Amino acid sequence: MDLSSLVIPQRLIAPLDAEFLPAASVNREYCRLVEREGGEPYHIGIERADGSVSRFDTRVLRPSSPSAPLNVLFIERIVKFLLWQRGGWRLHLGGPAEIGEAIRAIYSPNGARSFDAEFMGGVYDHPFTVEMTAADAVPAERETSSPLGRHLDGYRVGFDLGASDRKASAVSNGEAIFSEEVPWDPRNQSDPAYHYQGVLDSIRRAAAHLPRLDAIGGSSAGVYINNRARVASLFRAVPRVQFDAQIAGMFLRIGQELGVPIEVVNDGEVTALAGSMSLSDNPVLGIAMGSSQAGGYVNRDGNITGWLNELAFAPVDYRRDAPVDEWSGDAGCGVQYFSQVGAIRVAESAGMQFEAGKGLPEKLEELQERMDSGDKAAADVYRTVGVYLGYGVAQYAQFYDLKHILVLGRVTTGPGGDTLIAAANSVLRTDFPEIADTVTLALPDEKSRRVGQSIAAASLPALEV
């Protein structure tokens, strides 16, 4: 028995991926099953290094239910999502002991989710731990938040580091006067000097358009704490010893070399900040569809939460043979649906052929050229990604307080972005009307789609007085 055994009344089918099994639909159906058969409370707490705790409260089938084997499958996917959305090193599970024992085994060093456990332990400097307790003994929620950016005074450079290009903008008292993108290939470069000199080059090229440089703000995929890189896929080729010695403090050294304050955060947080600044309203979930998927969240107070928001590793597809992420080894996670990886995967699985030797950015450009010329197959690719996104938004709505979702990134460039958003909105109106009535899903203008993150990043540091 697995979660796909539930009868899913899915109303919209992805044109090029009829087997897609939306997590949101499966979760909804499981909860309906619990309501019909009767269930009991199950509480999940995730604790971070600063003592903050996130809670998720649900219900599971009673152990006596014939469908009780679904409990572990359901809770494991919820735990997986929460770990990458909220982050944490200690997992508190309150409910039937057999569920907790199974989750502990799955997230053990030899379990299927050992990557996730090791990652979380590295980020929070604690061995990843699963603790089981009574349902009413899970720690109470203790969330924290803090303001982010919005400093527009002075002469600033903002940069955004992606897997295929690095973007930089020169910003003069809140007005972007120069922006550019420079191709690079960080994931395959083991020399720390390649990364250091590349980032420094983009900053200097942008700073050349300013009368002086007052501050630098940057965004990059990965986890950054106090401007130090903790874990980042962009630098995966750098050996660990060299990463610790030269990459972890790279941005601090750049700030010292240029003699100005510098602030670097996860690219998803800057995506959400860009949305909040452009909309002048909150809360905002930002989704960047670039070489991977980035996510960030600004709450109703306009603050960031301290959560990871690494939605590239959050599950959105529950089918048995969902595409597998090459880094984590898990199936059905966001990177395979909301990124260049996802768009090209769909295109090639539908028979679209690209010139041998082309990388993802070049393939995406060709896909977009076909879209510009009115190619139906290209339009179906974007409609498929749009269906993914619609059901993805419904999944995110189970874990976030949502009002605005802003979608950025290279995948959304051109008419394909509009097709994608239209398909996503159709999913919400048809299958999740309660979400469609309360959540706005939109694209920024064309310029902001490509360089909006680097401009928002420039606002991160406060000027020293």
- Reference 452, options 202, 167, 150; nearest CA is 167
- Helix/strand/coil for 32: helix
325 within a domain of the structure (yes/no): yes
pLDDT at residue 381 tops 90: yes
Is residue 257 domain-shared with residue 297, that is, in the same domain? no
Provide the percentage of residues in the chain whose pLDDT is more than 90.
Answer: 75
pLDDT digits (tens, 9 = 90+) for 196-218: 999 999 999 999 999 999 999 99
Name the band, by pLDDT with cuts 50, 70 and 90, for residue 1: low
462 within a domain of the structure (yes/no): no
The residue with tokens 């010329």 is 373
Q: Taking residues 235-260, what's their average pLDDT?
A: 95
Is residue 107 domain-shared with residue 50, that is, in the same domain? yes
- Helix/strand/coil for 318: coil
464 within a domain of the structure (yes/no): no
pLDDT digits (tens, 9 = 90+) for 318-358: 998 999 998 889 999 999 999 999 999 999 999 999 988 89
Is residue 351 domain-shared with residue 446, that is, in the same domain? yes
365 within a domain of the structure (yes/no): yes
4 within a domain of the structure (yes/no): no
Please report the pLDDT score of residue 68 as a whole number.
95
Please report the pLDDT score of residue 158 as a whole number.
96
Is residue 302 domain-shared with residue 432, that is, in the same domain? yes
Is residue 244 domain-shared with residue 330, that is, in the same domain? no
Provide the percentage of residues in the chain whose pLDDT is more than 70.
Answer: 97
Q: Taking residues 57-70, what's their average pLDDT?
A: 95
Positions of E strands within 102-253: 129-133, 146-147, 155-161, 165-172, 175-183, 215-220, 223-225, 228-231
Is residue 422 domain-shared with residue 307, that is, in the same domain? yes
**What domain range is 257 assigned to?**
146-269
Please report the pLDDT score of residue 451 as a whole number.
46
Q: Which of 92, 112, 137 is the last residue of a domain?
A: 137
Compute CA distances 407 → 151, 278, 298, 424, whole Å: 23, 12, 14, 11
CB 151 within 8 Å of CB 463:
yes
Q: Where are the alpha helices (DSSP H) in 225-266?
A: 240-242, 250-258
**Structure token digits, residue 222:** 């990965």
CATH number of the domain at 171, please: 3.30.420.40
Is residue 307 domain-shared with residue 427, that is, in the same domain? yes
pLDDT at residue 447 tops 70: no
Is residue 151 domain-shared with residue 179, that is, in the same domain? yes
5 within a domain of the structure (yes/no): no
Question: What mean pLDDT is reported for the chain?
Answer: 92
Please report the pLDDT score of residue 91 as a whole number.
98
Name the band, by pLDDT with cuts 50, 70 and 90, for residue 387: very high
Which of 20-29, 169-178, 223-232, 426-435 is the least confident region? 223-232
CB 247 within 8 Å of CB 446:
no
Q: What is the pTM of this model?
A: 0.89
Question: What is the number of structural domains in the chain?
Answer: 3
pLDDT digits (tens, 9 = 90+) for 411-423: 999 999 999 999 9
Is residue 327 domain-shared with residue 224, that is, in the same domain? no
**Structure token digits, residue 130:** 């699963």
**Structure token digits, residue 192:** 């720390």
236 within a domain of the structure (yes/no): yes
- Helix/strand/coil for 146: strand
Name the band, by pLDDT with cuts 50, 70 and 90, for residue 465: low
